[in-house]
Chain A
Amino acid sequence: MARAARRLSEQINLSRRPALEGSETVMPWVTVRPSGPLSRLSLRAPEASVSALSKALGVTLPGKPKSSAEKAGRAVLWLGPDEWLVLDGAGNLASALQGVKQFHSAVDVSHRNVGIVVAGEGAEAALNAGCPGDLSLAAFPVGACSRTVLGKIEIVLWRKAEHEFHVECWRSFSDYAFAFLTEATRDAGQP
């Protein structure tokens, strides 16, 4: 039985295929690419636990609406008064808060979300094709982040640089998000 199962697994290609693998939209003024794998944590905690969690994560949890904090490849995005999204490109966040005794809820959502990077001078216009928020630098500066909508889906939007946005969407919506942004790049026009 075990031998049969092994033979079967040798015949089937079991390598992992991330969502949007190989997808890429390149326009002269804007590109849309998947962000690659990230470790993600959905974190909820009351005010009293914030300092202990900040210490454990190595990043101070931002308390101001629409703000984010980043340190050594680890980013914490403010989503609500007691809710954060933690992203890490290198480390694994699943066990990062294991020793914290203070009351909190940390759920590993690494595989729930897919990240898409929209970069280039037309990034703002491309996103505004489906995102109704004001994305001008004055209203949405570098480092700003927010849960919002893109077309028919909910996303988390994070401005990493003046012309670079990180879009987090749910995995099953990633095809929609990517196709939407691809169409939007055509409409975005040369800035």
Chain B
Amino acid sequence: MLLIRCPYCEEERPELEFRHAGEAHLVRPSNITAMSDEDFEGYFFIRSNPKGLVYERWRHIHGCARFFNAVRDTVTDKFVTTYKAGEPKPDLGKPKARLPRKSARENVGKGKPAKGRAEPR
């Protein structure tokens, strides 16, 4: 099972406790009544949906119930990092570059291996 680090619970938790909540860092325009339909469509409906690193909102709905932001690679489904809501986008060096394999492995390996537990059925 995928483990996702919740920045509020400060540990890796199973993915079943989480829910995806759309693209992160969308700023609601302050002049919605004045803007053109095309601009509103861009804000309201159009999402970037890139292949590679995406900034997303996630919610630890069956845990602390908090929204937070995550950087995930849509190709490998690896979470690069997670950070609290309201914090600026983390500096990932080369934003558009694909995730280097080494750091992907480091990220996955951060979770403590479950010791002395039976294999999942």
Contact = CB atoms under 8 A, between A and B. Distances in A.
Given A65-B10, A149-B17, A136 B117 contact: yes
B111 to A, nearest CB: 9
A180 B73 CA distance: 36
Nearest to A79: B64
A136 B116 contact: yes
Interface residues of A, number: 21
Contacts of A187: 121
B63 A146 contact: yes
Contacts of A133: 13-14, 17
Interface of B: 1, 8-11, 13-14, 16-17, 62-66, 112, 114-118, 121
The 3 closest A-B pairs by CB, nearest first: A132-B14, A80-B64, A65-B9
29 contacts: A65-B9, A65-B11, A65-B64, A66-B11, A80-B63, A80-B65, A80-B66, A81-B66, A125-B118, A128-B117, A129-B121, A132-B16, A132-B17, A133-B13, A133-B17, A134-B112, A134-B114, A134-B117, A136-B114, A136-B117, A138-B112, A139-B112, A139-B114, A146-B9, A147-B62, A147-B64, A147-B65, A148-B13, A148-B17
Given A66-B9, A139-B112, A149-B16, 11 more contacts: A65-B9, A80-B65, A129-B121, A132-B16, A133-B13, A134-B114, A134-B117, A136-B115, A139-B114, A147-B64, A187-B121
